[in-house]
Amino acid sequence: MASSISFQEAVTLAKSGDADAQYALSSLLHQRGQFDESVHWLRLAAAQKLIPAQMTLAIFLMDGRYCPRNRQHAIELLQPLAATQIQANLLLSELQGLVALGATDREAGLRYLLAAARMGDAGALRQLALLCLCHRHWELVRPLLDAAARRGDAAAAQALANCRVEGIIGVPEPAGSNIDWLLLERALPHLAADMPLPAGEILHEAPLIRRLPGVVHPLVLDAVINLAAPLVQRSQIVDARTGEVRADPMRNSSHVTLGPRQHDHVLEAIERCISRVSGMPVLNGEFMQILRYRVGEEFRPHVDYFNESGAGAYQSLADGGQRAQTVLMYLNADYQGGSTSFPELQLSIKGGRGDMLHFHNLGADGLGHTDSLHAGMPVISGEKWLLSQWIRSERYPARVTW
């Protein structure tokens, strides 16, 4: 929120019922950290149908940071704005399409994403293009990427360049080719459905370890890497004895945790895929991590389950139970070394691009399986990119309380 009037002027005008002044006063109070008073004036401005106030209040209601989360109220604020406001459609697409926000009708969420795309939003165009890749609607991919790239979306421009270089989705189309909106609308139920899964190969029975080849299209993997690359920072570990999160030489890679504000419909589709692979609800998954390993970097042998006798075990287990399963997805393959090793099982896996590796961390007794000990071996050349998600035995609270 922003304001160009003084605090006293805003107070005087706000008390007189001026919606713009109420919104400006809300902004000033927010900057001072007086959040309750800020939301009070924000609600008054929104009640007068001031669009910026309605949009801001809807975001607060979605996030639950400065006022209690209220999904239905946010939807009611945004729906009247959808005819004219791109941002309203984008927010509604999240409210109606992302499971962490309580959505149950993914197709409804994608219809709002389509509306934002038709209004020219580059990010919406790119997301729809990548979803079309996931579901093999090749004829829609290039026009959507081209439209997003011409509106300045760098990730779409990179994806479009990769299409041309690799020739992976058919004969090049002329620049500026039109989007078949009717065809795209008809495809929405398919785009809202789960991605097809290839048959898995069981590599070990107990603990269960299996590999699923080529689950996600390479251009989608590139988009995930491009999202994560500017955000990665030095990785940390959870100390098995104390529960402390800290840097440690045993894990010298970099990573980023993709929280709610980085989450979009493409990541949602990947996460739903992981949920089907693990057989656990989406909300049992911790936030996905994207890991980067450069030459010499590794993650030495470790287990993903929590040490139940450690000092920090109580808090870790209270936040959704044990890390029962792990799913890894290999985002690239142009590196040497970097295999995933299970030393107790004498098993080493070098995943191909888009492969998923799924393994259980617990035995039949519900306790940590020591044979799930694994390591990310040192990279010899190139860079290794990996998507990782830990699956809890219960719902992970942070997924619905962020």
For residue 316, give every residue at least 6 positions away whose Cβ sits within 8 Å of its Cβ, in sequence order, or none. 238, 243, 306
How many other C-beta atoms lie within 10 A of the C-beta of residue 181?
A: 13
Query: Which tokens hold the place of 25?
Result: 């006063």
Extents of the domains making up the chain: 7-81, 118-192, 201-401
In this prediction, what percent of the chain has a pLDDT beyond 70? 92
Amino acid letter for position 355: D
CA distances from 270 to 108, 250, 354 (A): 18, 29, 11
What length does the chain have? 402
Omega cis (within 30) before 207: yes
Please, what's the b/e burial string for 39-71 (b: 16 or more CB within 10 A of its CB; e: otherwise)?
bebbebbbeeebbbbbbbbbbbbbeeebbebbe
Coil/strand/helix, residue 27: helix
CA atoms within 13 A on the CB side of 399: 23
Question: Tokens 């479009």 correspond to what residue?
Answer: 160
Give me the tens of pLDDT residue by residue for the chain, a chain 402 residues long. Answer: 444 667 888 899 999 999 999 999 999 999 999 999 999 999 999 999 999 999 999 999 998 889 999 999 999 999 999 999 999 999 999 999 999 888 889 999 999 999 999 999 999 999 999 999 999 998 899 999 999 999 999 999 989 888 877 666 554 555 556 899 999 999 999 999 999 999 999 999 999 999 999 999 999 999 999 999 999 998 876 666 666 676 677 788 899 999 887 899 999 999 999 999 999 999 999 999 999 999 999 999 999 999 887 767 778 888 899 999 999 999 999 999 999 999 999 999 999 999 999 999 999 999 999 999 999 999 999 999 999 999 999 999 988 776
- Position 127 scores a pLDDT of 97
* Strand arrangement, sheet containing 233-234: 201-204, 209-212, 356-360, 323-330, 384-392, 289-293, 254-257, 233-234
Q: What is the pLDDT of residues 242-271, one digit of tens each?
A: 666 766 777 888 999 998 878 999 999 999
Pick 7-81's CATH classification: 1.10.3470, 1.20.1070, 1.25.40, 2.40.128.
1.25.40
* Common-topology check for domains 7-81 and 201-401: no
Give the architecture-level CATH label for domain 201-401.
Sandwich (2.60)
- Position 171 scores a pLDDT of 46
Q: Which of 380, 340, 90 is nearest to 211 (CA)?
A: 340
**Distance between CA atoms of residues 91 and 78, nearest Å:** 8
**Distance between CA atoms of residues 265 and 124, nearest Å:** 9
